[in-house]
Amino acid sequence: MSKQKTTASKNPTPAKPKTTPTKPKTPAKTAKAAQPKPADTFIEQLIYDLENRMQYFVEDENIQSNLTGRDRSRLFSAGVRNYGFIDKAFDIARDNPQFMPPHFDITRLNDNLRELENLRQLMLVLQQFLQLVSNCFMLKADFCYRDALRIYASLQEQTRNRVPGAEPLFNALRTFFHRRRRQSDEPTEMELQRDFKRLIHGKADGEIIIENETPKITGGVHKVIDNIHTGRSAFKETEQASIDEATVLHKK
């Protein structure tokens, strides 16, 4: 018995080394997917919340249709003067209920005034928020437009250097800078106004002649001669349609 114990102690079985399980190696990704920025996530969540709030506001206030211009003209506004008149009238109504019209509900009066004040404050907050969003939009639009100009200039340079495949891409962007040519050299109304201001302030030499004849039984003539533009004498003439003589005699 003792020999067996000694032999067992002399030749112990080797203990297995402890190893931690290793995770399988994943192949390296060549290009990572673009992750949304925190600002983008915040703006998207804000849009979602505002849309839900707006729908809740429509249902709570029972605003099912938009007001047309004619509908707005029929309603009283609540500007500075009208709002002050409403506030003063409601103070008188609360302090002197004996002088109020019959069946006049003071409780409903207070509820309407409180809601009107809340809506007015909401409009101010939304106007402030809209101004902030508009400023942020303009700044971001400026950054994006400048980057787009860099892309356009790069494609333009590559097209000039005859880089294969650059010309179709450049032409796709070039259409945004293409302006239609006028079919005639007649001055536009904007050009006439500009030339008139230059002439009346003494900043240009020339003349503007406007001749007009009201149409009667024969066709009327309207002529505009603009000699203000440098190196150009533009002439514009329009003939109005003749009035039927039988129609004129019938009206008499």
Instruction: Tell me the per-residue pLDDT of 114-126, one tens digit each, with 9 for 90 and over.
Output: 999 999 999 999 9
What pLDDT is attached to residue 5?
A: 47
> What is the helix (H) or strand (E) element at residue 69, kind and residue range?
helix 69-73
Does a structural domain hold residue 236? yes
- Report yes or no: 187 and 197 within 8 Å, Cβ to Cβ: no
What pLDDT is attached to residue 251?
A: 45
CA distance 232 to 204: 13
- Report yes or no: 226 and 191 within 8 Å, Cβ to Cβ: yes
Does a structural domain hold residue 101? yes
Residues 6+ positions from 170 with CB-CB distance below 8 Å: 152, 155, 156, 158, 159
172 and 194 co-located in one domain = no
Does a structural domain hold residue 144? yes
What pLDDT is attached to residue 162?
A: 94
163 and 91 co-located in one domain = yes
Count of Cβ atoms closer than 10 Å to residue 187 Cβ: 22
Does a structural domain hold residue 85? yes
CA distance 144 to 178: 20
What pLDDT is attached to residue 142?
A: 97
92 and 164 co-located in one domain = yes
Residues 6+ positions from 112 with CB-CB distance below 8 Å: none
DSSP helix/strand/coil, 180: coil
Does a structural domain hold residue 12? no
Does a structural domain hold residue 24? no
How many domains, in total, are found in the chain?
2
Residue closest to 41 by CA, chosen among 49, 51, 33 = 49
Residues 6+ positions from 156 with CB-CB distance below 8 Å: 170
101 and 126 co-located in one domain = yes
pTM of the model: 0.54
What pLDDT is attached to residue 9?
A: 47
Residue range(s) defining the domain that contains residue 215 = 189-251
With a cut of 70, list the residues of the chain below it in pLDDT.
1-37, 39, 180-186, 214-252
Task: Using the structure block, give the residue that is written with the tokens 């080394």.
Answer: 17
> What is the CA 30 to chain-centroid distance, rounded?
39
Does a structural domain hold residue 13? no
85 and 171 co-located in one domain = yes
